[in-house]
Amino acid sequence: MNEKDPVIMYGCFHPDHLEEMKYFRECKAYTVQIESNLACPQGCLYCYAASNDTQIKDLPKKDILAIIDSAARMDVRAIDWLGGDPLVRNDWYELMKYAIDKGLKNNIWTSGIPLEKEEVAMKAVEVSEGGFISVHLDSLNEEIYGKLHTGDPGTKMKAILKGVDNVQSFGKRPENMINCITFSKLLAGEDVKRTTEYFFNTKGMRTCLTQMCMTGLALDHPEWIPTINDIKSACEKRDELNDQGSGFSISTMDTSKFYCGGIICVTIDGDVTPCSVIRKAFGNIHDITLENIMELYGNELLFAQVRDPANMKGHCGSCKNNSVCWGCRAMAYYEKGDMFAPDPVCWINPENNVQ
Confidence band for 213, pLDDT divided at 50, 70 and 90: confident
Which of 9-18, 131-140, 161-170 bottoms out in mean pLDDT, i.e. has the lowest? Answer: 9-18
Which neighbouring-strand residues pair with 109?
Answer: 134
pLDDT at 54 over 70: no
Residue bearing the bigger pLDDT, 292 or 326 = 292
Confidence band for 167, pLDDT divided at 50, 70 and 90: very high
**Mean pLDDT across 297-310:** 91
**Mean pLDDT across 320-325:** 90
pLDDT of residue 3: 74
pLDDT at 11 over 90: no
pLDDT digits (tens, 9 = 90+) for 183-204: 999 999 999 999 999 999 999 9
Taking phi over 0 as left and psi of -120 to 50 as alpha, with beta for the rest, 49 belongs to: alpha
**Mean pLDDT across 213-237:** 90
pLDDT at 74 over 90: yes
pLDDT of residue 50: 62
Which neighbouring-strand residues pair with 107?
Answer: 80
pLDDT at 355 over 60: no
**Mean pLDDT across 122-130:** 98
Confidence band for 149, pLDDT divided at 50, 70 and 90: very high
pLDDT at 354 over 80: no
Q: Could you write out the DSSP letters of every residue in 179-218? A: EEEEE-GGGTTHHHHHHHHHHHHHH--EEEEEEP-SSGGG
What ranges in the chain are assigned the alpha helix state H?
Answer: 6-11, 17-25, 61-73, 92-101, 118-127, 142-148, 153-169, 190-203, 228-242, 257-260, 290-301, 329-336
- Average per-residue pLDDT in the chain? 92
Percent of the chain with pLDDT over 70: 97
Domain annotation for the chain: domains and CATH numbers: 6-306 (3.20.20.70)
Which neighbouring-strand residues pair with 178?
Answer: 134, 206
Confidence band for 35, pLDDT divided at 50, 70 and 90: very high
Neighbouring CB atoms inside 10 A of 150's CB total: 12
Stated length of the chain: 355
Question: What is this structure's pTM?
Answer: 0.94
pLDDT of residue 206: 95
pLDDT at 75 over 80: yes
Residue bearing the bigger pLDDT, 128 or 246 = 128
